[in-house]
Amino acid sequence: MTFVVSAEPPISSSPAGLAGLVDGIGERDFGNRLLALLHDVCGADYCTVFHLNSLGGQMVTTAGLNSIDVAQRQARLYLEGQRWKSDPMILQSRKQLTGRHTSSVVHMAVRELPDVAYRDRLYTRAGVCDRVLLCGRSATGVIGLSVLRTSKAGIFGGEDLRQVHEVSSVLLAIIDKHVGVLRQDLNLRRALTSLDQIENCLTNSRIPLSPREKQVCARILYGMSSNDIAIDLHIGDETATTYRKRAYQRLEITTQRELLLWYLDLWEERYLRGHAGLGGSRATS
């Protein structure tokens, strides 16, 4: 097993696909762009990006040069099967990341894995012979990038590992940004598709509205008509309209569009910016 740990890995000239990877942040084809870059850098056949925190492991994206099915199967076995918890490469990376280091690069040939059953099911059956693992601290846990080569391609050479090391800090920073964008998009979707979430945000925020005004605004944001709001809250139509006008006056707005923009700012402040500093430092400085 080869351990390469660095707080600031050296950065050589940017790979040709690096600009394309940056453009792919937040996009559905980010994994394919990442694999294309890794294939140019070190001849990678598969790659998987995952996120680890106290709640467990979650796949972010995966890609395969010849078969996306194989790549997805590998990722599911590794994450959903909780096999990452006993992965010696993960254990070494997390150990290193508890110190002053913000990123690590660990290389291990599949044949070196001590657990034969683990090795056979996860790698040998898929024809995988070698692996490099990049890990970095993020604001919400640990971000991992697993890079695999098949027996057909052969093991990573010294030059392959050197080039992976040189771009590791840049890759982890880009991946961290991609994960952040996905997380923000998910939170913003939840902000508007769940009445409970909307009400919870308004109820637990210090805003100049009465409880009933918050209920009415929550239902406006959820897309309910004045008549539906009145029925849902067991009040008259005119009463519902009065609460809406009063809330708009307190918030110094006049339209539903302004209410939406105000609410999205409130949501971002409460659920995104409010948690930005938790969990440690970014993958790279």
Per-residue pLDDT reduced to its tens digit, 80-123 = 777 888 888 988 888 888 767 788 999 999 999 888 888 888 89
In sequence order, what are the beta bridge partners of 47?
63, 147
Q: What is the CA radius of gyration of the chain?
A: 24
Mean confidence (pLDDT) of the chain: 83
Per-residue pLDDT reduced to its tens digit, 116-171 = 888 888 899 889 999 999 999 887 788 999 999 999 999 999 999 999 998 998 99
CA distance 172 to 106: 14
Higher pLDDT, 14 or 153: 153
Per-residue pLDDT reduced to its tens digit, 214-263 = 999 999 998 899 999 999 999 999 999 999 999 999 999 998 888 988 88
Question: In this structure, what token pair is assigned to residue 227?
Answer: 């008549």
State the sign of the Cα–Cα–Cα–Cα dihedral 53, 57, 62, 64: positive
C-alpha to C-alpha distances, 76 to 57, 69, 73, 121, 154, nearest whole angstrom: 10, 11, 5, 12, 24
The hierarchical CATH code for the domain 2-186 is 3.30.450.80
Q: CATH 3.30.450.80 occupies which residues in the chain?
A: 2-186
Instruction: State the DSSP string of 52-112.
Output: EETTEEEEEEEEESS-HHHHHHHHHHHHTTTGGGG-HHHHHHHHHHTTT-SEEEEEEEGGG
Q: CATH 1.10.10.10 occupies which residues in the chain?
A: 194-275
Domain 194-275: state its class: mainly alpha
CA distance 251 to 258: 10
